[in-house]
Amino acid sequence: MSLKDQITEDMKTAMRAKDSERLGTIRLLLAALKQKEVDERIELDDVAVVAVVDKMVKQRKDSVAAFTQGGRTDLADKEAAEIKVLEAYLPQRMSADEVAVEVKAIVAELGAKGPGDMGKVMGAVKTRLAGKADMGQVSAAVKAALSGA
């Protein structure tokens, strides 16, 4: 069963269970997937679905930070609940140590030296770690690896 099919089945389960919060989040996700398919005229595979979910999680994390800063804990809690639902569709994330090891290996492969090579390294890292690691964490690891190089 593809990830998209699993999301559709989860929507049906949430409907039967009358779990309105989970149902709303899954419907938002399915709408985003459908929008991407229509815009690009493609059928999304699991990798593309994970990319869309990852983007939605990042948007919600940014919203949580903004709402918390603005003193709107009610809205921040709602976004945090949506993050929990969405993260169920992401593959197991790499730990910070695993990310650092992978980044160091890529920096060594590319022979990158100094902060000027950040773009080249990030391009390679994104293709290899897409969906497996938080890109904010990856960016920090790349900066650390290049500054120590």
pLDDT, tens digit (0-9, with 9 covering 90-100), for 12-39:
999 999 999 999 999 999 999 999 999 9
Rounded to an integer, the average pLDDT of 42-65 is: 92
Q: Among the three residues 37, 69, 87, which one is the final residue of a domain in this structure?
A: 87
Q: What is the CATH number of the domain that holds 119?
A: 1.10.10.410
Tell me the C-alpha distance between 115 and 71, whole Å: 37
Q: Which domain does 44 fall in, by range?
A: 3-87
Quick one: pLDDT at residue 135? 78
Quick one: pLDDT at residue 72? 95
Where is 89: in which H helix or E strand? Answer: none
What is the CA angle 134-67-129, rounded to 5? 5
Cβ atoms of 43 and 37 closer than 8 Å: yes
pLDDT higher for 118 or 18? 18
Considering the chain, what is the average pLDDT of its residues?
88
pLDDT, tens digit (0-9, with 9 covering 90-100), for 67-110:
999 999 999 999 999 999 999 998 888 888 888 888 888 888 87
Q: Among the three residues 63, 87, 111, which one is the final residue of a domain in this structure?
A: 87
Q: Does one domain contain both 9 and 72?
A: yes
Q: Whole-structure pTM over 0.85, yes or no?
A: no
Q: Does one domain contain both 122 and 69?
A: no
Residues 6+ positions from 63 with CB-CB distance below 8 Å: 75, 76, 79
